[in-house]
Amino acid sequence: MTDTDLIEQSFAIAWSVLERTNELGEPNWSANFLLDEIIKRVGCGERHRLVLSNYAIDAYRRQPVQLVS
């Protein structure tokens, strides 16, 4: 699996979880935040998509609420 595939799959998992739980804020901000967190962890060597998605979800939940305008 390429890094691109890994990032895409991890993002899709994280997005799906946050969408199902109605925790997503402004879509562009949310997408960028999740991708940044996933890419950061891939850069540190993590290669497990569930670990990557869970890390991104946890980081997202620790951020202040981003209201949709």
Predicted local distance difference test score (pLDDT) of residue 28:
96
φ/ψ of 62, rounded to 5, equals -85, -10
Nearest-angstrom CA–CA distance, 33 and 24 = 11
Structure token pair of residue 45:
């060597």
Note the pTM of the prediction, 2 decimals: 0.90
Domain that holds residue 56: 3-62
pLDDT at residue 68 is higher than 70: no
pLDDT band at 64 (very low <50, low <70, confident <90, very high): confident
Nearest-angstrom CA–CA distance, 30 and 23 = 10
Task: Mention every residue, 6+ apart, whose C-beta is less than 8 A from residue 24.
Answer: 15, 18, 30
Instruction: Tell me, yes or no, whether 27 lies in a domain.
Output: yes
Instruction: Tell me, yes or no, whether 68 lies in a domain.
Output: no
Per-residue pLDDT of 36-63, as tens digits, reads 999 999 999 999 999 999 999 999 999 8
Q: How many domains does the chain have?
A: 1
Task: Mention every residue, 6+ apart, whose C-beta is less than 8 A from residue 26.
Answer: 66, 67, 68, 69
